[in-house]
């Protein structure tokens, strides 16, 4: 392991608990984990085509994930080099037992007892809750378990006299609480786990197959070949490669470390400030979660939650995501111009033809996936077909060929990579169960609306803050689930369509990863670059500025999502493409607006901008991002005036 890779691993362990896996020395344990992981992956492929009763397949999904976590992740980081303890072994057995119990008692629970828990049901439910909390603590840290624990405490004390009137409820007994969490699909086995079983796991598995076939190498080389020699080339390479990889793997912090170990030193080499270099990698990696077609698998959770088809969500997310990345690349470009930062020489870069000749065929699985989704093939089927297609395509070239060993490694890697998502979705199910059982969600929504004082804009600001706070320190999928449960319903009171509301909270829940004081992705970038974590965080915010504005724009003007949304109720009634000329107009004005805003932020276009020009250009850019005829006309005038002034200054500099 070279120095940069060793440093990257240290940073990942510092900021991502998921990286602290146990060192497995025993051959029997290695084979047990491998066999269980392979069986776990194949189980998900099997139930895609031959589904089981909902609660049973979800229970297997959670219990086997818990069992693997107890084998792979020690209770403390200091124990990573030690073997499996007696307690880990006991937890492993209990994890499997919780699912076996549901299989044995499934018919009595659903027929004879009608879902009413008996004593053994309650005991197994308590065990399941404890196991989920502990596995989540081991793999993601303390934030999620503490949050879920506080929520779980609420129904136990919600009837006591010291509670505020708005939070008072009827008394709940153990059967009410733990029956909700374990015996129904409204708790641990909620829609969050449902989406994880049906969609998320399969796309994580697909990502593992792409990784084993050399997709990461392809993205890096392709980005270098396309942008490496341009102005500020390495930073543009970081944005492109991190965006692609972030969309597939869905883990912002891990993506920062994985691609940042390569891109950040290159950025520093040509003269980028170390804080800015770390911020570029962080903002690009986080943006991958909003980039179709895979969107870090969060789109599938959104589809399950809203009832809107995945294809519609991916189409709606396309323009905002491209505008976000355009904003990041534009800032990188203007900063390079401002400080005269050149790209890498061509002899240091791979040739585009050679890259495409060697590994270009591995882009075919992505194209195949998009075609399958566009033809309305069920999402789970699409993932399975694409995995098989990836294996076939990998045989086109010796460098990418996947043999039996590589396939087994991909099956194991996919199972391991899914564990953090499964644990997070399961523990978020505790929160969902409490919200469904009590009035807590309604109270939170009422509080947001009350503070908003009847103003949509103020409510949007409060929802933005709530989403960022709720998303701090969390992976993108649990961040979205929590914000969708706790914050998105507040926007329904203002007739904001369901998809727009969920996209709004989705953006800000994800951007919590680059928002100080808990900006995990930015902190990881700073660790690799040697920069200051807080300064890197604020640079990340600056780079992501367009992403903070765009969600407000598509609330007020949903045509920015490039779909017509008819009906304003909390149901997805009809989604269709607007007229082509509307799409073209929105795209052109939004692109000019984002570039203008980026130029204003960096204070540079062809030459340096004065403070007056920056203000004028920023206002004009924001007006152009908002897809309204009047604001577009005013914005275009302001931008034209600024660019004319800047052009004259540029001519004066050249003639001097």
Which pLDDT does position 341 carry in this prediction?
85
Average pLDDT over residues 274-281: 92
For residue 229, the SS3 value is: coil
Which pLDDT does position 153 carry in this prediction?
92
Q: Are 286 and 246 in contact (CB under 8 A)?
A: yes
From 349, 369, 379, 437, select the one nearest 173 (Cα to Cα): 437
CA dist., res. 394 & res. 616, Å (int): 52
pLDDT at 36 over 90: yes
pLDDT at 288 over 50: yes
Query: What digits encode the pLDDT tens for the residues 153-168?
Result: 989 988 888 877 777 7
Helices (H) and strands (E) in the chain, counts: 30, 2
pTM: 0.81
Average pLDDT over residues 90-102: 95
Q: Are 235 and 267 in contact (CB under 8 A)?
A: yes
Q: Alpha carbon 193 to chain centroid distance?
A: 16
pLDDT at 571 over 60: no
From 58, 265, 283, select the one nearest 182 (Cα to Cα): 58
Which pLDDT does position 576 carry in this prediction?
55
Other CB atoms within 10 Å distance of the CB of residue 596: 28
Confidence of residue 581 (pLDDT cuts 50, 70, 90): confident
Average pLDDT over residues 331-350: 84
Which pLDDT does position 572 carry in this prediction?
39
- The tally of CA atoms less than 13 A away on the side-chain side of residue 150 is 6
CA dist., res. 503 & res. 506, Å (int): 5
Confidence of residue 577 (pLDDT cuts 50, 70, 90): low
Confidence of residue 99 (pLDDT cuts 50, 70, 90): very high
pLDDT at 3 over 60: no
Which pLDDT does position 64 carry in this prediction?
96
Which pLDDT does position 387 carry in this prediction?
93
Average pLDDT over residues 260-273: 85
Q: Indicate the range of 218-227, 265-274, 306-315, 574-583 predicted with least confidence.
A: 574-583
Query: What digits encode the pLDDT tens for the residues 405-421?
Result: 999 999 999 999 889 88
- What whole-number percentage of the chain has pLDDT above 70? 90
Which pLDDT does position 17 carry in this prediction?
59
CA dist., res. 276 & res. 334, Å (int): 13
pLDDT at 13 over 80: no
- Domain residue ranges of the chain, discontinuous segments joined by +: 3-154, 197-552, 579-655
Query: What digits encode the pLDDT tens for the residues 229-257?
Result: 788 888 888 888 888 877 776 677 777 87
Q: Indicate the range of 170-174, 472-476, 482-486, 598-602 predicted with least confidence.
A: 472-476
CA dist., res. 145 & res. 645, Å (int): 56
Q: Are 285 and 247 in contact (CB under 8 A)?
A: no
Mean per-residue pLDDT over the chain, rounded: 83
């Amino acid at each position: 392991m070279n120095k940069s890779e060793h440093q990257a691993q240290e940073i990942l362990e510092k900021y991502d608990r998921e990286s602290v896996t146990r060192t497995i020395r025993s051959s029997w344990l290695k084979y047990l984990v491998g066999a269980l992981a392979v069986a776990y992956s194949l189980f998900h492929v099997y139930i895609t085509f031959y589904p089981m009763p909902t609660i049973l397949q979800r229970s297997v999904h959670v219990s086997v994930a818990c069992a693997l976590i107890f084998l792979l992740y020690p209770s403390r980081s200091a124990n990573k080099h030690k073997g499996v303890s007696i307690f880990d072994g006991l937890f492993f057995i209990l994890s499997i037992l919780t699912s076996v119990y549901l299989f044995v008692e499934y018919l009595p629970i659903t027929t004879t007892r009608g879902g009413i828990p008996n004593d053994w049901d309650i005991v197994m439910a308590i065990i399941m809750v404890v196991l989920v909390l502990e596995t989540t603590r081991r793999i993601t840290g303390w934030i999620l378990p503490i949050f879920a624990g506080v929520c779980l405490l609420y129904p136990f004390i919600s009837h006591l006299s010291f509670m505020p009137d708005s939070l008072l409820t009827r008394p709940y007994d153990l059967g009410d609480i733990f029956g909700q969490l374990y015996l129904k699909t409204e708790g641990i086995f909620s829609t969050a786990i449902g989406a994880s079983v049906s969609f998320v796991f399969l796309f994580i598995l697909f990502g593992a197959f792409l990784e084993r076939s050399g997709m990461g190498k392809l993205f890096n080389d392709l980005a270098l070949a396309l942008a490496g020699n341009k102005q500020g080339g390495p930073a543009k390479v970081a944005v492109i490669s991190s965006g692609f990889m972030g969309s597939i793997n869905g883990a912002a912090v891990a993506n920062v470390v994985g691609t940042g170990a390569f891109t950040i030193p290159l950025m520093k080499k040509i003269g980028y400030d170390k804080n800015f270099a770390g911020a570029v990698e962080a903002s690009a990696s986080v943006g991958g979660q909003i980039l179709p077609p895979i969107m870090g698998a969060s789109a599938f959770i959104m589809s399950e939650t809203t009832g809107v088809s995945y294809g519609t969500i991916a189409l709606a997310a396309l323009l905002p995501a491209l505008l976000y990345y355009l904003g990041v690349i534009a800032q990188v470009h203007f900063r390079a111009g401002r400080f005269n930062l050149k790209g890498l020489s061509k002899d240091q870069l791979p040739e585009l033809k050679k890259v495409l000749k060697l590994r270009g065929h591995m882009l075919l699985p992505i194209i195949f996936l998009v075609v399958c989704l566009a033809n309305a093939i069920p999402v789970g089927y699409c993932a399975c077909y694409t995995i098989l297609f990836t294996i076939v395509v990998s045989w086109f070239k010796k460098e990418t060929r996947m043999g039996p060993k590589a396939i087994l490694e991909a099956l194991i890697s996919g199972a391991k990579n899914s564990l953090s998502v499964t644990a997070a979705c399961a523990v978020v199910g505790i929160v969902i169960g409490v919200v469904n059982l009590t009035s807590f969600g309604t109270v939170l929504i009422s509080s947001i609306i009350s503070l908003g004082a009847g103003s949509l804009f103020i409510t949007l600001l409060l929802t933005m803050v709530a989403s960022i706070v709720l998303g701090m320190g969390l992976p993108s999928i649990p961040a979205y689930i929590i914000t969708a449960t706790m914050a998105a319903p507040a926007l329904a009171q203002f007739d904001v369509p369901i998809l727009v509301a969920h996209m709004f909270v989705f953006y800000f829940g994800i951007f919590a990863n680059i928002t100080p004081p808990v900006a995990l992705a930015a902190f990881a970038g700073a660790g690799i670059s040697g920069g200051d974590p807080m300064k890197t965080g604020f640079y990340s915010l600056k780079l992501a500025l367009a992403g903070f504005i765009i969600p407000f724009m598509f609330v007020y003007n949903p045509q920015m999502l490039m779909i017509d949304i008819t009906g304003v109720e909390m149901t997805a009634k009809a989604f269709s493409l607007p007229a082509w000329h509307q799409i073209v107009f929105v795209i052109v004005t939004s692109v000019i607006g984002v570039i203008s805003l980026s130029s204003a932020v960096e204070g540079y276009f062809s030459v340096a901008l004065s403070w007056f020009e920056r203000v004028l250009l920023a206002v004009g850019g924001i007006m152009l991002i908002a897809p309204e005829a009047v604001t577009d006309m005013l914005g275009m005038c302001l931008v034209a005036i600024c660019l004319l002034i800047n052009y004259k200054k540029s001519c004066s500099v050249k003639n001097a």
